[in-house]
Amino acid sequence: MTATPFLPYGRQSIADSDIEAVVEALRSDYLTTGPMVERFERELAATVGAKEAVVVANGTAALHLCMLAQDLTPSDVVIVPSITFAASANCVAYCGAQVVFADVDPLTGLITDETFEDALSLIGPQKRFAGVIPVHYAGRPVDISRISAVARARGAFVIEDACHALGSTGPQGPIGACAASDMANFSFHPVKTLTTGEGGAISTNDLERARRLRLLRSHGIERDPARFVGLGYGDGDENGAWVYEMQVLGFNYRLPDINCALGVAQLKRLPEFIKRRKALVAAYQAELAQSNLPVSWMAPAAGDDPVFHLFAPGIDFAAVGKTRAEVMAGLRERGIGTQVHYIPVHRQPYWQTRQLSPRALPGADAFYRSTLSLPLYPDMADGDPARVVEALKEVLA
């Protein structure tokens, strides 16, 4: 008798084609920066509809480079929604600027026009509103029309945190096309829609910005003689074939050819990943609609076409008289893995004393109190959503 497989909340999908692509890269002349980097960037840019994509070591590195490219100062303030991974705010602190947290819709976890305006009102005359990082939480698109208009009118940037949203389409079009933003960043961690092992990327339509991101990605080193400013020797040692110039303080945030080979192979499978995730979410919706459980999940807004990275419904734990920890333990006993995304960042000890204008964020707290991420990944079986909901019925009974 075959044991029922454990269902984690998320998991990579690796096919023979992925393995073959990595093996081919291992047998090539390049393991670090080689032709697969440029290929992955080119194909990723085409996939999301942007002019440029810059691949980096991970999603946090992508966020950090986006902030570095803004030349932030200690008097600059960036608005970040509280429901996100810590890196969305940490990247601002890395660059010495300040964060004011925005509240979110308690049902979707997304920043709204109203919560953005509230956060903006807290930035006094001694500070400068530098920018905003809307987060497409779980793959659900944020409508950034109003946010973008306000930011651009004030000379501020809009950088989309799209780490959950590869393949999603919102009111501004495909996420990553940057129709109403300066840049968008992605994560390719194994539980995301596409994986490179670890990895991330930044998309943009500004070619000069992409050039600077690549400079910052690799120690701030320029190798193009046409862009040299001079080493001070004044002779042949200024422009020899070996010469490079470190022009800014950069980092080693490169993504190796091996990882990019996996990324190229996974991009070919992206349509099947998207189709599968949508089918599984539809199955969850159908099962929950018939379950009569105290579980809520917001359907996508009209016109949106999300590719959900997480299936994270809200559960009224008080109504069933059980704590979230008890429910998670009960599900685990039945072979169902779960997770919580996320503890509001404004509640984290580091940020409690460092955020600008600390205050209650009831939407973020309400969302956190009820959310629970259930299994969602392409290799789940057709019947797995029904299995998860049946387990929920037993645990919540």
Question: Could you give the residue numbers annotated as active site?
Answer: 192
The label of the residue with tokens 């969302």 reads: 367
Number of Cβ within a 10 Å radius of residue 42: 13
Note whether 25 and 31 are within 8 A (CB).
Answer: yes
- The contacts of residue 188 (CB under 8 Å, 6+ apart) are 58, 59, 194, 195, 196, 197, 198, 199, 200, 201, 263, 266
> Between the CA atoms of 210, 215, 223 and 221, what dihedral angle is there, to the nearest 10 degrees?
180
Q: Looking at the chain, how many residues does it have?
A: 397
- Going from the C-alpha of 270 to that of each of 16, 67, 129, 203, 392, the distances in angstroms are 15, 28, 37, 17, 30
DSSP-assigned states of every residue in 198-247? S-EEEEES-HHHHHHHHHHHBTTEE--GGG----S--SGGGS-TT--EE-
Side chain identity at residue 368, one-letter code: Y
How far is the C-alpha of 354 from the C-alpha of 91, rounded, in Å? 14
